[in-house]
Amino acid sequence: MICRIPGVRGAQAYLHQGRDGLVVIDPGYTGSFRAVLRFVEAQALGRIDWVILTHHHIDHAGTALALCQATGARLAVHAADAPYLQPRRPRERMTLWGLADRLPSGLARFVVTCAGRAARLLEDGETIAGLTVVHGPGHTPGSIGLRSESESALFLGDILNNERGIRTPPWNVNHSHRLALRAPHRLQGLSYERAYFGHGPAIMTGADQCVRAFLTRRTTAPALTG
């Protein structure tokens, strides 16, 4: 079961329920944990096992600490993005969000522990609660996609968005734009029916073909790269 959680500010937040537990992917901007809790309660889904972040940006991760504290869920984030959730985090060059270096104090104090337990640091290729990690660095060093075999679905975070058709994030929000343009090629060998983006509507059929078509178009028409 996959659903988008309504009422979350910032990026889109998703629930994924598989045999290996209930997961919230990118719970959203600061304060959004209440909307997540309301929804999980209304749907009578039981306890949240994991909060998984596709990357550290505040519109995806801002409420992660509060959600973990409220539910006892554990946090998982790619190892390369974990330092951004710690005090004395690496200096990020200023992005369009401008938010990157202005984390709320609660999150800045977060260190990489959650509800008293250490966060799980993810690596490419590993599986967590039925979701396989695909590391696609560029937008941030630890940006990941998450593939659900049971749902034939891929969560893309900000590796690609679908706001005005499929595209890579603009240069001014990327940690390394050069790598961000290459990151979606990591997805090319995967097969999945549905795609869920951090921003923009989901694609519910033939999503892998749509992403492949986008990558082919971009390779064959470099002048249109955006």
Give the interface with Zn ion as residue ranges (CB under 5 A). Answer: 11, 57, 59, 158, 198
Q: Do 112 and 119 form a contact (C-beta atoms < 8 A)? A: yes
List the one residue out of 153, 152, 144, 224 whose CA is nearest residue 184: 144
Question: Distance between CA atoms of 211 and 206, rounded to whole angstroms?
Answer: 9
CB of 71 to Zn ion, least distance (A): 23
What is the Cβ-side half-sphere exposure of residue 168, based on CA atoms within 13 angstroms? 29
Amino acid symbol at 73? A
Residue 186 CA, chain-centre distance (Å), reads 16
Closer of 45 and 79 to Zn ion (Cβ)? 79
Q: Which residues contact 152 (CB under 8 A, 6 or more apart)?
A: 191, 192, 193, 194
Closer of 11 and 154 to Zn ion (Cβ)? 11
CB of 25 to Zn ion, least distance (A): 12
Q: Which residues contact 130 (CB under 8 A, 6 or more apart)?
A: 16, 18, 19, 20, 21, 23, 148, 149, 150
CB of 171 to Zn ion, least distance (A): 13
Closer of 17 and 174 to Zn ion (Cβ)? 174
CB of 181 to Zn ion, least distance (A): 15
What is the Cβ-side half-sphere exposure of residue 30, based on CA atoms within 13 angstroms? 9
CB of 169 to Zn ion, least distance (A): 7
- Residue 27 sits at the vertex; the CA angle it makes with 24 and 30, to the nearest 5 degrees, is 155
CB of 216 to Zn ion, least distance (A): 25
Closer of 140 and 148 to Zn ion (Cβ)? 140
Closer of 11 and 133 to Zn ion (Cβ)? 11
Closer of 97 and 214 to Zn ion (Cβ)? 97
